[in-house]
Amino acid sequence: MRFKPQYITPALIFCLLLALVPLQNRIRNLRQTEGLSENIAILPGELVSGIIMSGFRGIAADILWLRCDMYFHQGQWYKLLPLYRTITFLQPHFIQAWAVAGWHMAYNIYHEAAEEDKPKWLEAGINFLKNGIRHNPDRYDLYFELGWTYFHKAEDYANAVIYFKKATEYEHPDYIDRMVAHAYEKNGELKKALEVWQELQKKGTDSETTKRIFKKSIKRLRREVKKR
């Protein structure tokens, strides 16, 4: 019976790639022993180098993403991080991986960490999202995720304003415009918050609920501004 290529499954391909890891490690060790230059970088938590994975990056990322889902449901947060780093290395435009990993660091691991380690994990989540933005600068998603982390978790409203506003420079959901106003208000910039609400009101909306929110927010902020 002739072997048919279509029977090669993604899992089999990935296993074959993993089988190359010891050989690659041996080659790297020999190169270091002989003082030869090393151009293949294996990042922490990654299984094989980018060159070995070239052509199979999407398959490998999909398999690792499934493993992430398993660890997530088991609550094994720390095991997720090497996988997320590998996935984002293999597929740097996979927005969800950047967003979820940043959230795990800033929220889940932060919650489980000792009190003295919490700031470290919050910073790690923020830095991971910033790295994702560097790879995906022309989409709103990670700007919003970072803005929300500053707003909700770090309570750093000045930076929340910066990243929410940056998110609005690209095609985005309407609620992000409202988050700009909320962040301005939390940061004590009531006049700017009022200006944002007024501008949104001018743009109009078909939702009666949203119209009431605009009207209520504008009325309240006008009252607050007058008190100052």
pLDDT in tens, 52-96: 444 566 777 778 878 887 887 787 877 888 889 989 998 999 999
pLDDT exceeds cutoff 50 at 31: no
Nearest partner of 127 among 164, 102, 147, judged by Cα: 102
The average pLDDT across 109-135 equals: 96
| Phi, psi angles (nearest 5°) of residue 188 | 85, 10
Residue 62 vs residues 15, 87, 132: alpha-carbon distances, Å: 14, 8, 18
| Lowest mean pLDDT segment, chosen from 19-28, 50-59, 156-165 | 19-28
4 compared with 174, residue with greater pLDDT = 174
pLDDT exceeds cutoff 90 at 194: yes
pTM for this prediction: 0.74
pLDDT digits (tens, 9 = 90+) for 1-24: 444 444 444 454 455 445 544 544
Instruction: Please indicate, yes or no, if residue 85 is contained in any of the structural domains.
Output: yes
Instruction: Please indicate, yes or no, if residue 12 is contained in any of the structural domains.
Output: yes
Instruction: Please indicate, yes or no, if residue 183 is contained in any of the structural domains.
Output: no
Q: Where in the sequence is the domain holding 83, given as residue range(s)?
A: 7-32+40-91
Cα 202 to Cα 181: distance, rounded to the nearest angstrom? 15
Give residue 26's pLDDT band: very low, low, confident or very high (50, 70, 90): low
Instruction: Please indicate, yes or no, if residue 14 is contained in any of the structural domains.
Output: yes
Number of domains in the chain: 1
Reduced to 3 DSSP states, what percent helix, strand and coil does the chain have, rounded to the nearest 5? Answer: 75, 0, 25
Q: What is the DSSP-derived secondary structure letter of residue 106?
A: I
Instruction: Please indicate, yes or no, if residue 81 is contained in any of the structural domains.
Output: yes
26 compared with 209, residue with greater pLDDT = 209
21 compared with 127, residue with greater pLDDT = 127
Instruction: Please indicate, yes or no, if residue 2 is contained in any of the structural domains.
Output: no
Instruction: Please indicate, yes or no, if residue 223 is contained in any of the structural domains.
Output: no
- Confidence (pLDDT) at 151: 98
